[in-house]
Amino acid sequence: MNEVIDQTLRGAELVVCCGAGGVGKTSSAAALGMTAASYGRKVVVITIDPARRLAQALGLTALGNDPVQVALPETVPGSVHALMLDPKATFDGMVARTIKQETLQRALQGNHVYKLLTNAFHGMQEYMAVERLFALLEDKRFDLVVLDTPPTTNVLQFFDAPERLARFFDRRIVRWFLPSGEGSRLKRLLSGQSAAMLLIQKVAGEDFARDLQEFFGTMGGLADALSQRAAALGGLLARNSTRYVVVTGPEESRIDETLAMVELLKRRAYRPSAVIVNRVTPETMAPEIAPAAFTAPAALLAEEHSLFSMLAQKLDAQRSALLRRANLERAQIDRLRARLGETLVRVVPRLDVELDSANGIFVLARALA
């Protein structure tokens, strides 16, 4: 196995894949899973909002929190399961565990604020991924979890999601919106929370104010559970068996983004164990040879020769452009290596397969390892 990939997978229990959108993060996460499986690991890959065809390639047809087995060649000793995170179902499940009374649960389902929170909370997907993560790490069917993080604008948003959600349910916020049972009516009128509710009634409407009160009244107890999760995640992310992989491309802007991302990770004391530079022009890795002119194959007919000379010009233009591109990419990869060290960077060439089948991803896995 390639050394960079080997050091990433050996002894790993959790592999967190980070990267900007469009670099092949999800397919790389799946390929890493397959690589691990070919070394006998029992892997589960958590994906979030993958492209439909990629989901199909992994045998996933619908959102669901139950892992589905991915079809692999029989020679592979391990196994890969995958699941497409369903944030709403995960959240409902968590609420059901925390709030035991059925009447309260039913009231929540009709509550507009609750609906909004499950659909639009900034970081809800990220948080729910964390919830699933803990469940799967406990699952005896698997010995390695590969997590494909959602394409956030900032990688830290993912790690901060539980804390953020916990802050939303902070006691001070909850108390603000709750009808206070204590004190005289006059005292309540003069107190802050009353003024806040009046203000919300005024600007956001009475219905909303009622929904908000009901929501915080029911969900207020979630704060403790969420804070515990946030703390547990902090511990999990700092474990030695948790590995970080940054997926990127060879373009200047990608390398810039990657270096910035690695810095952010390091600030949290998370050190990436691999940076995968994906879809590199194959010429980048070939030795430079002065190109010779294209000559027509002997089998061409006489009348095809003039067309060939025109085509040869296009082929030549294509080749020179590719070689120039290869030079630029090589310079970018060198820059990355100079900053991060040789032992971190794994370069994967652009493959001539579409990643819309399990076989396509298996080809990527072989190139990776």
Partner 1 sequence: MTEAAAATLARDRTLNLFAKPMTYVTGKGGVGKTTIAAAMALLAADQRRRVLVCELGSDGHLARLFGRTIDHEPTSVSPFVDAANFSAEEGLVATLTSVLPVERIIRAVVQNRVLQMFMETAPSVREAVLLDALGRHFQAKKYDNIIVDLPASGHAVTMLGVPQMIMKLMRRGPVAKKAEALEAEIFDPARAQILLVALPEALPVQETIELSQKLVAATRMGQVGIVLNSSAPHLVDKKEQALLDKIKQEAAQGSELRRHALHLLQAAERDEKALRELAQATGLPVFRLPRIEDANGFQDILGIAKAALASYVA
Which among 16-24, 74-82, 84-92, 225-233 is the span making contact with partner 1, rule CB under 8 A? 16-24
Which among 35-43, 133-141, 178-186, 317-325 is the span making contact with partner 1, rule CB under 8 A? 317-325
Among 287, 310, 338, 342, which residue interacts with partner 1 (rule: CB under 8 A)? 310
Closest by alpha carbon to 142, among 41, 242, 216? 41
Closest by alpha carbon to 58, among 361, 352, 368, 351? 361
Q: Interface with partner 1 includes 317 (CB under 8 A)?
A: yes
What are 243's strand-pairing partners? 15
CB 364, CB 348: distance < 8 Å: yes
- Min. distance of Cβ 338 from partner 1 in angstroms? 19
Q: What is the dihedral of CA 116, 119, 122, 123, to 10 degrees?
A: 140
- Min. distance of Cβ 229 from partner 1 in angstroms? 15
Among 97, 100, 172, 185, which residue interacts with partner 1 (rule: CB under 8 A)? 172
Q: Collect contacts of 190-194 with beta carbons under 8 A, ≥24 apart.
A: none
Contacts of partner 1 in 93-152 (CB under 8 A): 112-113, 116-117, 119-122, 124, 151
Distance between CA 1 and CA 10 in Å, rounded? 11
Q: Left, alpha or beta for 38 (phi > 0: left; psi -120 to 50: alpha)?
A: alpha
CB 156, CB 268: distance < 8 Å: yes
DSSP 293-350: PP---TTS-GGGHHHHHHHHHHHHHHHHHHHHHHHHHHHHHHHHHHHH-GGGEEEEEP
Q: Interface with partner 1 includes 204 (CB under 8 A)?
A: yes
Contacts of partner 1 in 215-254 (CB under 8 A): 249, 252-253
Contacts of partner 1 in 17-76 (CB under 8 A): 20-23, 49, 51-54
Distance between CA 323 and CA 336 in Å, rounded? 20
Minimum CB distance to partner 1 smaller for 10 or for 122: 122
Q: Interface with partner 1 includes 190 (CB under 8 A)?
A: no
Contacts of partner 1 in 260-299 (CB under 8 A): 291-292, 294-295, 297-299
Contacts of partner 1 in 146-165 (CB under 8 A): 151, 153-154, 164-165
- Min. distance of Cβ 164 from partner 1 in angstroms? 6
Among 321, 334, 343, 366, which residue interacts with partner 1 (rule: CB under 8 A)? 321
Q: Interface with partner 1 includes 203 (CB under 8 A)?
A: yes
